[in-house]
Structure 1
Amino acid sequence: MRRRPITAAAAGLVLLTGTAVACSSSSGSSGTSSAPPSSSASSPAPAHESAPPGDIPDTQAYVPWSPSAGGFTVKVPEGWSRTTQGSATVFADKFNSIRIDSLAAAKAPTAQSVRSTDIPAIQGKSTGFALRQVTVVQRKGGSPVMAEYLADSAPDQVTGKSVQLDVQRYAFFKSGKETVLTLSGAVNADNVDPWKIVTDSFRWS
């Protein structure tokens, strides 16, 4: 994800990949040709798209969203598709996506616990994984642990191609509850400001 010189970065299905790593299997492109066979450890990595979708426009509007059970509110881009993947909700547009997971947690995550427990689990479900950093960051709604990494999107069902994603995963915690926002977009897309809008909007309720 291309950085603006004066802005520091970000962080973080598929989850979205599968990635966390965040891309939705239910929101993939459809077509008349059959989907490529599932990749295995011995299969070559899918080819990358040469010109993946890019920046979220500066004119993008955002709307507040809360799960039916309540507990928190976060702003998401207006007009993006919404899907449910198990207990997670995913908002997506092309290769940009926001995955929102909520779970019970006995204690607050730390940079060390995310690095030692969460990252190996994410890596095991991803292709093209490369960790950039794990750190605690400041947002208006708290101090989440942010993990930033690279991972490949799920292959397109028609072309079999994927794009390399820049993923930012934010783990917020309060009173035994953890909410994870995983934001992803094509590498070199300038989504620093949109991701800041989303993560700064998070509030416990």
Structure 2
Amino acid sequence: MARVRTVRSLGVVGLVLAAAVTAGCSGSSSGPPAASHASSGSGSTSTSTSTAGASAAPAPTESNPPGDIPDNQAYVAFRPAGGGFTVKVPEGWARTGQGGTTVFTDKLNRVEIATASASSAPTVASVGSEVVSRLRGQVPKFDGPKVSQVNRHAGSAVLLKYQGDSAADPVTGKVVRDAFERYAFYRQGHEVDLTLSGPVNADNVDPWRIVTDSFSWK
């Protein structure tokens, strides 16, 4: 009888030891899930940062390069006080005048209309020598003069193309490289010099054509 109790006691002890080993194994395996949870938290922070960066809006792109005159620009007729001719100029541009010269400006673009008495019509040769020589002393960094005879609605004109620096902006001090087109019209002792200018590379071919084709004698 005593032997049977001893065997049962040993059996109970064995069960207790087995339970303790099982509990120990179960406790040690709980570590990895905790570590995995920490890693998951780190991943969510990275995702949040990436999303914030993607939401930043890009800088807007300018629709026109500097100096371009809008395609929808309106034009109005200009006639000097003494009459004699009319020419269309861009509507809304600032106007200044001195003597026989009137100037229209807007931002980086300029239209100058100068009148004078002349005993003979300008020619490619006279503009190429006399006018070019004068402009070299007046226009900063004057360069690349090209003289030709062209036709407009009012008739023949002498065209002088050249480049030069603009006057410094009174506020910023910035200087712009300008392209110039000077048209010399002549009739019966009267000369009208129409000079159009704006930044080099500005696409103002059509606006300048509208202005120069609109010139007419009255």
- TM-score of Structure 1 vs Structure 2, range by shorter chain: 0.7 to 0.9
Matching residue of 1:92:
105
Cα distance change on mapping 1:52 and 1:155 into 2, 3 Å? farther
Matches within 5 A, 1:21-100: 53-100=66-113
Indicate the percent of aligned positions where both proteins have the same amino acid. 55
1:3-55 superposed Cα distances (whole Å, 9 cap, x missing partner): xxxxxxxxxxxxxxxxxxxxxxxxxxxxxxxxxxxxxxxxxxxxxxxx98321
Count of aligned pairs between the two proteins: 155
Of residues 107, 117, 128, the one that matches 1:104 is 117
SS, match of residue 144 in structure 1:
strand
TM-score by length of 2: 0.69
Matching residue of 1:133:
146
Following superposition, which runs of at least 4 residues in structure 1 exceed 3 angstroms of deviation? none
Larger RCO, structures 1/2 (Cα 8 Å, 6+ apart): 1
CA contact (8 A) 2:67 2:107 kept: no
Letter paired with 1:94: K
Unaligned runs of 5+ in 1: 1-50
Asked if residue 202 in structure 1 is aligned to residue 215 in structure 2, the reply is yes
Of residues 133, 137, 152, the one that matches 2:165 is 152
Unaligned runs of 5+ in 2: 1-63
For 1:108 and 1:156, the matched residues in 2 are separated by 36
Q: Which moved more, 1:195-204 or 1:154-163?
A: 154-163
Deviation at 1:86, TM superposition (A): 3.4
SS, match of residue 199 in structure 1:
helix
For 2:175 and 2:100, the matched residues in 1 are separated by 25
Deviation at 1:87, TM superposition (A): 2.2
Comparing both structures, which one devotes a greater share of its residues to helix? Answer: 2
TM-score by length of 1: 0.73
1:131-184 superposed Cα distances (whole Å, 9 cap, x missing partner): 241000010111110000001100011222210000000000000000000000
Of residues 108, 128, 147, the one that matches 1:115 is 128
CA contact (8 A) 1:101 1:180 kept: yes
SS, match of residue 181 in structure 2:
strand
Cα distance change on mapping 1:93 and 1:131 into 2, 3 Å? same
